[in-house]
Amino acid sequence: MTTAKSSPSAKPRLTTSAMIASIAAEGQRTKPAPFGHALVELGRSREDVVGMTADLGKYTDLHIFAQAFPDRYYQMGMAEQLLFAAASGLAAEGFMPFATTYAVFASRRAYDFIHQTIAEEDRNVKIACALPGLTSGYGPSHQAAEDLALFRAMPNMTVIDPCDAHEIEQIVPAIAAHRGPVYMRLLRGQVPLVLDEYNYRFELGKAALLRDGGDVLIISSGIMTMRALEAAQALSDDRVNAAVLHVPTIKPLDTDAILREAGKPGRLVVVAENHTVIGGLGEAVASLLMRSGVHPAFRQIGLPDEFLAAGALPTLHDRYGISTVEVTRQIKEWLR
């Protein structure tokens, strides 16, 4: 087999391994399987915790819980509707199921079962879903670009979009202490570490101002908070001072923090999310600002209203404007 020669200035050729759900940059600090390890810690203190999945234990890091508590682990096969109906039944009997699958399967294939058996009944089920937004290169079948919009619209459902391993470790016990159904996006495998450098502590329903700045306010969730922090550093090299407000809880929204920060005069407000621009954090913030009479200059960074391409994640993130380079570029253009 021969390989094509490239010029010194050319970008390195991306291999198919770049298509897996790895969002860590080369050399970035990471932590393995934070969800699985956090759930094991929770399981040691709470015997009511059970782990459930639809043939995706290895790919949602639930296999770590299965190894620690094999008698509290339920592998339901490729049957997501059964998975969530059974989770509801276990919750009705006093257990606390943590049910995992891919975000596309929960938000599209099993939505009605979650709506009717978990949300409407207000069952204490915690749904943790991998491959959220554009964290898979395998095309529309595996890209859950609209999951936040769907679960935001579901009554009784708390919705969370974590940024990194540090936050996931804190979310697991926090949602266990919260009575009621939860949908959380899940980052799996080698997950970046970012927020520990900011003395961050997750608090359900609360946003956190990670850095301040007078030129632009970036309101972000999930992996886009990592991108926002990187973009803010890049912007500072051009003497642009960017604030970053991390909003991990999409529902209920921390309206006080958003209105307080967005209401400060003279700043462009940009909402950045790994989700379609329809129905997610951006539109939630925009409607809040309009209803409250707060009218800053406002822009959105998010995925377009279309079925996304398949390919290597770095290429796709550049193409759809959610890479650090593209976030930085767009903000610079808007500030001109």
Q: Which two tokens stand for residue 317?
A: 């993130």
Q: Note the pLDDT of residue 10.
A: 54
Q: Note the pLDDT of residue 26.
A: 83
CA dihedral for 47, 250, 100, 88, sign (positive or negative): positive
Please identify every stretch of the chain with a pLDDT value under 70, giving residue numbers as ranges.
1-22
Q: Note the pLDDT of residue 11.
A: 55
Q: Which two tokens stand for residue 59?
A: 């790919």
Distance in angstroms (rounded) separating the CA atoms of residues 110 and 14: 34
The length of the chain is 336
Q: Do residues 295 and 268 touch, judged by C-beta distance below 8 A? A: no
Q: Note the pLDDT of residue 235.
A: 98
Distance in angstroms (rounded) separating the CA atoms of residues 116 and 37: 31
Q: Note the pLDDT of residue 73.
A: 98
Q: Note the pLDDT of residue 75.
A: 97
Q: Do residues 302 and 280 touch, judged by C-beta distance below 8 A? A: yes
* pTM as predicted: 0.93
| Residue in 165, 86, 72, 163 with CA at minimum distance from that of residue 127 | 86
Q: Note the pLDDT of residue 24.
A: 86
Helical residues (DSSP H) of 122-265, grouped into ranges:
147-152, 165-177, 223-236, 255-262
